[in-house]
A and B are shown apart, each in its own frame.
Chain A
């Protein structure tokens, strides 16, 4: 069974450009989350989608946007790239919406898309 797949694996952009990152969740998973991992830091939450609706958003500027498609795959878009956007972008999927509390559903992460902004 395929895990969470992300594309592209690596990409280089210049400041001011736009980037689109793609994620395919595990079959049957309806929730997709996006995290940003800057070098040397832990992942930071960007977005969560469930059943094609945004269900959560972290502390990121409006340059960051995302969507989820009817087949539950997802795209993360970043406009007007800055040097500080250089990071590993991780997608994670789960069967249900992460409601918090005990017995939390486990997130399964993809290998990530490494973005370098020059």
Chain B
């Protein structure tokens, strides 16, 4: 079945460091891909999305490119801030019920 695999956390970075969170997927066809962010004590917020191969989603300095050949959708940011501390979830839209399938999440902590 379809699935999403994210790099294990937690990830701890200093402010202004470069961020990469790896995400790979297994799916039939070409599902839409998403990154959601969850701040402490809150629900999920959509960070960015890509709906077809080679699309680049971007928002708030974060970027991810839909790579069909490597079945990947890695999240990157050139310079992280303390306010980026949160849990990041990679997801694909391709469950058997038309639902989202999420990875386990990667916790990011950014230190001043």
Contacts and interface: CB of A to CB of B under 8 A. Distances in A.
A104 B43 contact: no
Contacts of B91: 42
Q: Is the interface of A mostly helix, strand, loop or mixed?
A: loop
B11 to A, nearest CB: 15
A84 interface: no
Contact of A103 (B29, B51, B95, B105): B51
A61 interface: no
Contacts of A111: 42-43
Nearest to A46: B99
Contacts of A33: 99
Contacts of B36: 109
A100 B93 contact: yes
Contacts of B31: 100-101, 104
Given A40-B104, A42-B104, A109-B45, A104 B93 contact: yes
B54 to A, nearest CB: 13
Interface in A68-118: 88, 90, 92, 97-104, 106-112
Contacts of B44: 43, 90, 92, 109
B30 interface: yes
Interface string B6-42: 0000000000000000000000011110101000001
A41 B98 contact: no
Given A90-B43, A106-B46, A112-B43, A100 B94 contact: yes
Q: Which 7 A-B pairs have the closest CB atoms?
A: A56-B97, A42-B102, A45-B99, A104-B32, A98-B98, A111-B43, A109-B44
14 contacts: A40-B105, A42-B103, A42-B105, A45-B97, A56-B99, A58-B95, A90-B44, A100-B95, A103-B32, A106-B49, A107-B100, A109-B36, A111-B42, A112-B43
Interface of B: 4, 29-32, 34, 36, 42-46, 49, 51-52, 89, 91, 93-95, 97-105
